[in-house]
Amino acid sequence: MQSTTNSSTPSMAVMYAFYPMVIIAGFVQLLAPSTIHMIMKHFNLKAGTVGIIPLIYFTGMMISAVVITHLIKKLSVKQLMSSGAIIVSVSLLAASQSHSYFIFALLFFLTGFGNGIMIILPGIYATNQYSEKSAQLQSIIFSFIALGFVVGPVFPGIVSYLQLSWRWCFAFPGLLILPGIIPIILAKHEPIDHTEKLTFRIVKEIISFDRKFFFLIVIAVIIAAGSSTGLLTWLVTFLEIKRGTPLGMAHVVLATLGVASVAGRLIWGRVSSKITVYHTLLFIVPISAALVFFAPLPETTIVNIILFFIATIFLSGINPLFLSAASVYPKSLSSSAYTVLFISISIGGMLIPFGIGQVFQYAGAEVAISSISILLVIVIGALLLVKKEIPVIKHLHQNPLP
């Protein structure tokens, strides 16, 4: 029988080297939501058309998630993180000079590819090296990403308020990301060993481990991730078009949602260690659905903002807790399982914000935002079908793996 934990757990201090880069990755991830109205104006696009930018970005992330499993044994953590940072830096600097929407979109694909490496690798490392603390570590990693969500909208907001060129929104993080490589270079990370490349054979093994558990979790992750990304993507446009907020103010609101994300992920990471991940999800998803439904309906902007803030505290805890499900699998499969779940997040980020953009254009802003709650109801259904977390030992007895 294979153990799912390490015989000797490495120092937690090496995780700290990831966090500055993860913050910057969060900054980059919110570039599309923070600048989508600027892109619409500059390239003369409608909401339904510019909604393809998140789809392109998350396509890049999804492909990087597949590629990284083939590179983990060939390249070190240091080399992979540095490569991701350089790809993001070059693509953002090039995008800031782009005069063609087609070229801009292509560069945003590369941005998603590089940023995907910087986001997924710390999660894979935590799953591989600290499986027993996976839920808490995933919440911490995503909390640092959320810190980037705080910083990310502020800079485009300043650019918008000062009426500077939108190009600064991409050039600045392109330069900022380079110093983030320094802690990675200085750290001494353990090799990510006992992992398998993500192939059809490995996916079949992951599925056969527990077919029902796998498909329900994947469906839930796709929908939950897409829902949260959709909210962030269209919030600034909603506030500026439907509520008439001054230039830059909607970006400040988006930054405050980053604060809510940090708080929420830290809170639910701690709560899950007390009452289990499953019961935490069963508590926060229905509340998220209700708050997201009602948040855009009041005609008073301050009420909208307060409801969005509270909703984000609950909504932000969902993805990290779902990702921690990878620790249920044996160590040889856990990194690949984490990658599959991360790909599911990317698929949700690709498809759902684009769909919400279509609803935004044809049915109105309030309907578009409120419709996210319907998606979260599906997540609740998936959770109820799972019914309870599957104990690792039970799995190992029922499905012994080499």
pLDDT of residue 2: 35
Which band of pLDDT confidence, cut at 50, 70 and 90, is reported for residue 6? very low
Task: Choose among 21, 34, 287: nearest CA to 159.
Answer: 34
Residue 388 confidence (pLDDT): 53
pLDDT tens per residue, range 33-65: 778 778 887 888 776 677 788 888 888 988 998
Task: Please say whether the beta carbons of 328 and 205 come within 8 A.
Answer: no
> What pLDDT is attached to residue 193?
67
All structural domains of the chain with their residue ranges: 12-398
Looking at CATH, the fold of the domain delimited by 12-398 is given as Growth Hormone; Chain: A; (1.20.1250)
State the pLDDT at residue 305. 93
pLDDT for 135 beyond 80:
no
Distances, alpha carbon 346 to alpha carbons 35, 89, 229, in Å: 20, 21, 10
What's the pLDDT score for residue 255? 81
Burial 25-56 (b: 16+ CB within 10 A, else e): bbbbbbbbbbbbbbbbeebebebeebbbbbbb
Of 292, 290, 349, nearest in space to 319 by CA: 349
More confident residue, 3 or 95: 95
d(CA 311, CA 153): 18
Nearest partner of 124 among 178, 87, 80, 85, judged by Cα? 80
Q: For residue 392, is pLDDT > 70?
A: no
What DSSP designation does 255 have? H
Q: Whole-angstrom Cα distance, residue 314 to residue 47?
A: 27
CA of 168: how far to CAs of 26, 93, 209, in Å? 17, 9, 48
| CB atoms near residue 305 (< 10 Å) | 21
Q: Give per-residue pLDDT as tens, 142-184.
A: 888 878 877 777 788 788 778 888 889 899 989 989 888 898 8
* Relative orientation angle of helices 331-363 and 200-209, to the nearest 10 degrees: 90
Residue 342 has pLDDT above 90, yes or no: no
Is the pLDDT reported for residue 390 higher than 70? no
Which pLDDT does position 223 carry in this prediction?
95
Q: For the whole model, what pTM was predicted?
A: 0.73
At 185-223, the pLDDT tens digits run 888 887 776 666 677 888 888 888 888 888 999 999 999
Assess whether pLDDT exceeds 80 at residue 394: no
pLDDT of residue 396: 39
As a whole number of angstroms, the distance between CA 196 and CA 124 comes to: 12
What is the full DSSP assignment across 21-76?
HHHHHHHHHTHHHHHHHHHHHHHT--HHHHTHHHHHHHHHHHHHHHHHHHHTTTS-
378, 223 in Cβ contact below 8 A? yes
pLDDT at 293: 96
Say if residue 291's pLDDT is above 60: yes
pLDDT of 389: 52
Question: Is residue 253's pLDDT more than 80?
Answer: yes
Helices (H), 72-167: 77-95, 101-129, 134-161
The predicted structure's pLDDT at residue 400: 36
Residue 257 has pLDDT above 80, yes or no: yes
The CA dihedral of 80, 66, 265, 378, to the nearest 10 degrees, is 170
pLDDT at 132 over 70: no
Q: Whole-number mean pLDDT of the chain?
A: 83
Q: Which two tokens stand for residue 157?
A: 């907001």
34: closest CA among 181, 173, 180? Answer: 173
Q: State how far the alpha carbon of 15 is from the alpha carbons of 21, 71, 144, 220, in Å.
A: 11, 20, 12, 28
pLDDT of res. 110: 95
Using DSSP, state whether 399 is helix, strand or coil: coil
C-alpha to C-alpha distance for 315 and 226, rounded to whole angstroms: 11
* pLDDT value of residue 162: 80
